[in-house]
Amino acid sequence: MAGQDPTLVWMNGEFVQWDEAKLHVTTAAVRFGSRIFEGMRAYWNDSQEQLYIFKMEEHLKRLAQSMKMMRMTTDYSLDDIEKACMDLMTKNNVREDVHLSPSIYFGEGEALFSYKPGTVEVGAYAVTRPRKTILGTGKGIRVCVSSWTRISDRDVPPRIKAAANYQNGRLAAVQAAEDGYDDAILLNGLGKVAEGPGACVFLIREGTALTPPVTGGILESITRSTLMQLLEEQMSVPVVEREIDRTELYIADEVWMCGSALEVTPIFSVDKYPVGDGKLGPLTAQLQTEYENCVRGKTPKYLDWVLPIYSS
Ligand SMILES: Cc1ncc(COP(=O)(O)O)c(C=O)c1O
């Protein structure tokens, strides 16, 4: 497999061809969006001829937390899902970077408000997904602060990685695109910076990295924790989790978004205010390199963050 999406999909314990991995239109996940999922990446290391899944354990732990909050149970254990994800890589002979997504959803025959344990289905697939900002190109994005408010723990908790939550992010992302921006940053109900439609936000001010707290209306991002550790341990940059005002985005020295999909995506302007001098900032650039090295299993100190797929 090279340059094309893996053809096998894992569905309810079986590997099926991509075209056969279908759901009925009456499935609860389709009708009501009652589905939780994870999104992670597997990275190919050319010199080692090895594929690494990045922070698999953390993603599975968050999947379990999403299930618990949604009162979903399945017959498949986290170990089963982990094995399915690994098998998905080997059976598809994945030898390039892919985006990998296991999901758990209420299946056919389930009612919207059903409470009793019912038909819960599982699946996992992988796709080749272009990276938004390729390392070394010096590219960045232009974002706006959205007029949409980030969902909150009081109504639709962003801590749950539920498909339905993404309608909030989609409204912001689509509006941003209509208005000529690459992406959006949402504020929470208190008017403080929350996150992007699919990523967390960091700022650099006076040499300190700032990021909203996990109680600020954000997904508890695995990349966010990774970068906090890299900033402190590899780059000696202090990190402070605190509420962030919208106008701090306008005067920050550097701003970036981060996530398994977006990795470290530099932001060059917010609401058309240039960030710093409107180019790739030095700390963002260094962090991109640190991140790239650890996800590809090139930083010995962080080898326990990556799960090798092929036996050497
Ligand atoms: C809304 C939202 N915030 C943040 C993130 C980043 O989370 P992670 O770093 O765990 O991928 C994502 C990506 O999954 C997301 O969808």
Query: How remote is the CA of residue 34 from the centroid of ligand 1, in Å?
Result: 18
Query: How remote is the CA of residue 53 from the centroid of ligand 1, in Å?
Result: 16
Query: How remote is the CA of residue 224 from the centroid of ligand 1, in Å?
Result: 8
Side-chain-facing half-sphere of 295: CA atoms under 13 Å: 25
Amino acid identity of 184?
A: A
Of ligand 1's listed atoms, the one at least distance from the Cα of 197 is 1
Per-residue pLDDT of the chain (312 residues; tens, 9 = 90+): 555 678 999 999 999 999 999 998 888 888 888 999 999 999 999 999 999 999 999 999 999 999 999 989 888 999 999 999 999 999 999 999 999 999 999 887 777 776 565 678 899 999 987 776 667 778 999 999 999 999 999 999 999 999 999 999 999 999 999 999 999 999 999 999 999 999 999 999 999 999 999 999 999 999 999 999 999 999 999 999 999 999 999 999 999 999 999 999 999 999 999 999 999 999 999 999 999 999 999 999 999 999 999 986
Tokens at 299, concatenated: 């930083």
Domains (ranges, CATH) in the chain? 8-127 (3.30.470.10), 141-295 (3.20.10.10)
Query: How remote is the CA of residue 312 from the centroid of ligand 1, in Å?
Result: 31
Q: What is the reported pTM?
A: 0.96
Tokens at 91, concatenated: 């059976």
Tell me the β-bridge partners of 43: 52
Phi first, then psi, for residue 264 (nearest 5°) are: -115, 100
Show the ligand 1 pocket: residues with CB < 6 angstroms. Answer: 39, 169, 195, 198-200, 218-219, 221-224, 259-261
**Measuring from atom 3 of ligand 1, which residue has the nearest CA?**
199
Query: How remote is the CA of residue 250 from the centroid of ligand 1, in Å?
Result: 23
